Amino acid sequence: MAQLDKLGLDDAAVYELLNSSFDEEELRTLCFGLGVDYDSLPGEGKRAKARELVGYLGRRNERNGLDKALVSSRPGVVGRAIGKRFKTGPLPTLPKGLNGDAGWYIYVRDSLAMIQGQMRLFQVFAIVSLIISVIALLD
């Protein structure tokens, strides 16, 4: 299993990262660094080449190399993609019909509960980002 797979980024998500974060020349350079001949990948254009690159490395159980290259070249993009896997909702609105101190108390209580949940998510995201950075440094 590829490293980013463990963090919720499957082949399709890695393919989308390549398409959205790399231009064709950068994708060529990435392929060169991975020992893959860009021109020998089937398909025409960047999207097809990115798709084939992910498939090619996956079939050879070499996608970890691509994952490490993505993390080292675009750590922020990878981190945001992982963060999108966790959903948070908007803060609650002031309940209708509750005015004065009671309404504000309920609003603040519910908002703090939501923020506390989002802080836990932020802590998880920070830990995942740290793990990705350590993995990139180890290789």
Q: Which residue has the tokens 């990262």?
A: 17
Contact 111, 89 (CB under 8 A): no
Task: Give pLDDT, residue 93.
Answer: 55
Mark residue 8 as left, alpha or beta (left: phi above 0; alpha: psi -120 to 50; beta: remaining): left
Mark residue 88 as left, alpha or beta (left: phi above 0; alpha: psi -120 to 50; beta: remaining): beta
What residues contact 87, with CB distance under 8 A and at least 6 apart? Answer: none
Map out the domains of the chain as residue ranges: 1-85, 87-139
> Rounded to an integer, what distance in angstroms lies between the CA atom of residue 116 and that of residue 79?
21
* Ranges of residues in the chain whose predicted pLDDT is under 70: 1-8, 83-128, 130-131, 133-139
Task: Give pLDDT, residue 91.
Answer: 46
CA 52 vs CA 14, 18, 27, 94: distances in Å: 12, 11, 12, 50
Task: Give pLDDT, residue 138.
Answer: 63
